[in-house]
Structures are given as structure tokens and as C-alpha cells.
Amino acid sequence: MSATASAGGKGKLLSDTLAAAKAEGRSALIAYLPAGFPTIDGGIEAVKAAFDGGADVVEVGLPHSDPVLDGPVIQTADDIALRGGVRIADVLRTVREAFEATGKPVLVMTYWNPIDRYGVERFTAELAAAGGAGCILPDLPVEESEAWRKAAERHGLATVFVVAPSSRDERLAKITAVGSGFVYAASLMGVTGTRESVGLEAQDLVGRTRATTELPVCVGLGVSNREQAAVVAGFADGVIVGSAFVKRLLDAPDLAAGLAGVRELAGELAQGVRRRA
């Protein structure tokens, strides 16, 4: 599939959603929440709350025992989910119930090992059947991605790859040539987590990535408030927020308060992406 093509199926819903945000003169708000956290049912409600607050897209994390790219907040949530017994079936249920409730694009973000063990064809078929829009695969090298991409394309799923400030221009071109949906631009080197500011590296990376593709370029890692969202929205097609949402749930005294916090944060960030600093 070419970089300029939209994935079919629910992958097309993702592309259409990002295009609609652009037509409104704003960036899209993309939230991340791990499945199974704080419980399986609670995680489903958290995804719905993010959409209710104003998220355009939600990434559902597949908890992993060795989340090497995730910071301490998401690692803590993953640990809680895994100790609670979350399985891939629960991740797919989260996608299904969130999509059925909202009709909005839901992605899965996962490391490669769980999919490899589960089976590529099985996972793509079940994700598509659940209404999933696609997958973000941060540790799958493009050189080893052909089997995944062919299965994803058959089922109308987007394949989102991650680029980093360290990526050379020729590497960016190689990655964006085979991705679909959007490009996930990691705003800085390191793991996920909230930060005081989002550096100029992110803006440079977006510019270099756009030179290689017509796909939307969405920025994640470090955004935690309305002001940061407005800054990133000034140069990116989408603003991705994860740890700040997870922290609202971690810090809450109970699920109801956590869901209210997720909804409130989504509302604040939605205002930020519309301000475009």
C-alpha cells in the first residue's frame, strides 16, 4: 500500500477522522489508555470517557511485561493490568465496546512479541472484527513487517510506524513509504511520560517526516496539558497524550473520580488543539 493511500475498512475511518480535523483547521487529539487498567471494565469506561471529553482517536495499549519504550506511569498501569489477568481477548473486547459505543476510531498500540505469539492472521482478523482501525507497532522494524502489513491490508487496518528525532531522512522515507493511517513522531529521545516542555526536536522531526509523505504526522511523548497541546498542534496533524491520562486514573481515589479526570483532561486538551499556539 502506498503512503498516500488510505487503508480500507476501519482504517479508512481513521484517515477520514484525521482529514476532518484538518478541514476544521485544527489538529486531532489522540488519547492513549492501556486495556485492563484499572480493571478490564474500568479500562473500557476510561476509553469511552476520553472520547466523551473530546478525543478524536484512542489508542488502546496491549499491556506487556517488558514495555521498554514506556515510562514509569504506563509501566505501573501495565503491571496492574497484567496482575489483573488481562489477555488479548480483553484488549479486543475493549476495542469492540469502545467502537460500538462511540463509532470513533480505536487503535491498538502493542509491542510485536504478543502478536507474533498470537498469530498475525488471527490477530488482524479479530481486531478488524472488533471494529479496530489499526495498530501502532513501535518495535517492529519495517524490514520485518511485510507479513503484518499484508494481513493488515487484507482486513482494512492501518499500520502506524514510529519515527524518532534520531531517524535519518532516508530512514524516514523508508518507514513512511510502507505505513498507513498516520506517522507517529516521538517528540524526543527516551521513554513516554509527561514533561515540562515539548522540545524543538519535535517540530524539526515533523518537518523532515512531512517531506517524505502525505500521511498525517502526529506527535506523542511528553504532552500533558492544554498549553503543550496548543504548541504541538501548531505544527503537527495530531497530538498524542498517554501518561497524563493514565496518571489521572492512578491518582484518583476511585474509578468514578478517575473517569471524571480522564473526561476533564480530554476536554482541556481538545481546547488546546483548537487553539494552535
Is 143 part of the annotated catalytic residue set? no
With residues binned 3-state (H G I as helix, E B as strand, rest as coil), the percentages for the chain, rounded to 5, are 50, 15, 35
Given the DSSP bridges, would you call strands 158-160 and 162-163 parallel, antiparallel or unpaired?
unpaired
Task: Confirm if 11 and 156 have CB atoms less than 8 A apart.
Answer: yes
Task: Confirm if 54 and 266 have CB atoms less than 8 A apart.
Answer: yes
Cell (9 digits) for 53: 471529553
The whole-angstrom separation of Cα 66 and Cα 28 is 29
Catalytic residue, chosen from 16, 52, 56, 59, is 59
Cell (9 digits) for 66: 517488558
Catalytic residue, chosen from 70, 97, 153, 237, is 70
Task: Confirm if 237 and 217 have CB atoms less than 8 A apart.
Answer: yes
Per DSSP, 85 falls in state T
Q: Which residues are catalytic?
A: 59, 70
